[in-house]
Amino acid sequence: MTTEPLTHSEAQGVRYAAELEGHVRWLDSFSAAALGVLAVASGIYTYLGVTSLLDDNGALSFFAAISYSIAVSVGIFVFWSYLMRLLPAVRTVGARLGLFLSMLLGSAAIIAMSSWLNAAALAGAAAVEQHLAHTVQDYQTALERANEITVSAQGLGRDVARVRQSFEDLSEQEATGDLSGLAGRGAVFRILRQKSDELAGLESQIASQQPLVDGAFSEGNAILSRMRSLTVEPGPIEVRSVQFSEEAVRLAGVITQLRQLSVAPLVSRAAQDLSASVVLPELDGRTAEGRAGQQSTISSVLQLLGQRADTLRRAADVVANMPPPADTVYTPISTADAVIRYAANFAPSWAGAIAIDLLPAVLVFILAITHAAIRSGKSRVGVEDTMTIAELRAAMSAVRDIDAMSRVQAAPAYDPTVVAALNGSEPRKDDSTT
């Protein structure tokens, strides 16, 4: 039986496939070791990530972390070993699609059980520092907002001083007789002085709050400065987190103190009392006409009191209705939770943590493409055209062995010719004549 000679393109395909097979055999010699190194490295970082989640540092926690990391390493090694062998070998579309979906599912499982812990080991401390920095910013905003509201309330002292000054000016005019027409310190004068004295006391109380406000704000800034230093100074992040928590409690107390120092509620109540609680003195005019003038002036003064009280109350209500600072509470966070919450800030660490687990997927695709190319190079020729010299020799030896066994089974019990053929020599003459 004769076979047609190979065409030039078929011969090139065979040589191309043989060359690729040689490369694949050489790469297979160390692929398992490389995959093992990747799996062990991932297990080590997984161990570091697990230990950051465990509160107890005893022997049981140590063995638990070791067991988990070993299980991760073995799982990664076995999973990618399966795919590196099976996915390049299958030929049907259904089989390839099934293995590809299996690879996606396994990759998701690897990310869930290992990659996020690797990220915690790579960037956990930095992520916790990021959390501390965000918390400091929140506390600073709350402190500044509380101080802004309190300072705005202190500004009501100017409104109180303006109203007080207006009542004092009116009382001076009454003393000279320019209001009621009766000079002296009569009933109208006493009402005006009564309210100016009340406002003077309120103004003094507001002014006495200013040193307390300044001191609280300065103390809050000093605490913020210490908190900022804790976010960047060297040392274990766990120890710094404890110190940061203590400073956060102190700062929360300062913010509460600032909110309590706001005098807006006090001014609002004083404005209500300004017109509601008026002690009307007895009219002291000597004549009915003088008393009627005093009564008319007192009515005007009371109306003015109501207007001034409404003005002060509206100003106080504006300050009191200002949005309060947001409630800020520092919540300690683990390194694993921190890298998840601030994942956008640590994209390189996440990329490295995932790459160390999913890098074998690239090798799987490379092998699949290479094996497809090998099959393509051999697809147009038969097996006999792709045999190497060593394979041909082995095949010829197998054919001779099979032929010899067939002759042994078909020959008599003792046939010198068959024995000689089996021994690879010519039969002797005396044996042939016996």
How large is the average pLDDT for residues 70-76? 92
Flag the least confident range among 85-89, 105-109, 189-193, 320-324.
189-193
Angstrom distance (rounded) from CA 216 to CA 143: 10
Q: Which residues contact 268 (CB under 8 A, 6 or more apart)?
A: 312, 313, 316, 317, 320
How large is the average pLDDT for residues 141-153? 90
Domain finish residue from 342, 375, 405: 342
Q: Using the predicted structure, report yes or no on whether residue 422 has a pLDDT greater than 60.
A: no
Q: Is residue 3 part of a domain?
A: no
Same domain, 101 and 31: yes
Number of compact structural domains in the chain:
3
How large is the average pLDDT for residues 320-345? 83
Q: What is the CATH number of the domain that holds 218?
A: 1.20.1260
Same domain, 379 and 331: no
Q: Is residue 331 part of a domain?
A: yes
Same domain, 210 and 311: yes
Give the C-alpha distances (Å, rounded to integers) separating 414 from 123, 419, 423.
83, 8, 14
Q: What is the pTM of this model?
A: 0.65
- Look at residue 1 in the predicted model and tell me its pLDDT: 41
Same domain, 139 and 116: no
Q: Using the predicted structure, report yes or no on whether residue 260 has a pLDDT greater than 50.
A: yes
Same domain, 357 and 418: no
Same domain, 280 and 397: no
Same domain, 190 and 225: yes
Q: Using the predicted structure, report yes or no on whether residue 179 has a pLDDT greater than 70.
A: no
The answer to whether 199 and 164 are in contact (CB under 8 A) is yes
Same domain, 277 and 417: no
The answer to whether 128 and 236 are in contact (CB under 8 A) is no
Angstrom distance (rounded) from CA 367 to CA 66: 33
Flag the least confident range among 46-60, 102-116, 169-183.
169-183
- Look at residue 279 in the predicted model and tell me its pLDDT: 47
How large is the average pLDDT for residues 165-173? 72
**pLDDT tens digits along 85-126:** 888 888 888 888 999 999 999 999 998 888 888 888 888 788
Angstrom distance (rounded) from CA 24 to CA 255: 69
Q: Is residue 399 part of a domain?
A: yes
How large is the average pLDDT for residues 64-79? 91
Q: Is residue 2 part of a domain?
A: no
- Supply the range of the domain harboring residue 424: 389-433
Q: Is residue 23 part of a domain?
A: yes
- Look at residue 80 in the predicted model and tell me its pLDDT: 93
How large is the average pLDDT for residues 177-202? 67
- Look at residue 428 in the predicted model and tell me its pLDDT: 52
Reported as a pLDDT band with limits 50, 70 and 90, residue 8 is: low
Same domain, 138 and 56: no
Same domain, 210 and 71: no
Closest CA to 231 of 307, 135, 299: 135
Q: Using the predicted structure, report yes or no on whether residue 290 has a pLDDT greater than 70.
A: no
Q: Using the predicted structure, report yes or no on whether residue 178 has a pLDDT greater than 80.
A: no
Comparison of pLDDT for 364 and 166, the residue scoring more: 364
Reported as a pLDDT band with limits 50, 70 and 90, residue 419 is: low
**pLDDT tens digits along 374-395:** 777 666 555 555 555 666 677 6
Reported as a pLDDT band with limits 50, 70 and 90, residue 293 is: low
Same domain, 158 and 261: yes
- Look at residue 12 in the predicted model and tell me its pLDDT: 63
Flag the least confident range among 162-166, 242-246, 256-260, 364-368.
162-166
**R_g over Cα of the chain:** 48
Same domain, 115 and 199: no
Closest CA to 27 of 377, 389, 387, 366: 366
Q: Is residue 296 part of a domain?
A: yes
Angstrom distance (rounded) from CA 44 to CA 47: 5
Q: Is residue 1 part of a domain?
A: no
Q: Is residue 198 part of a domain?
A: yes
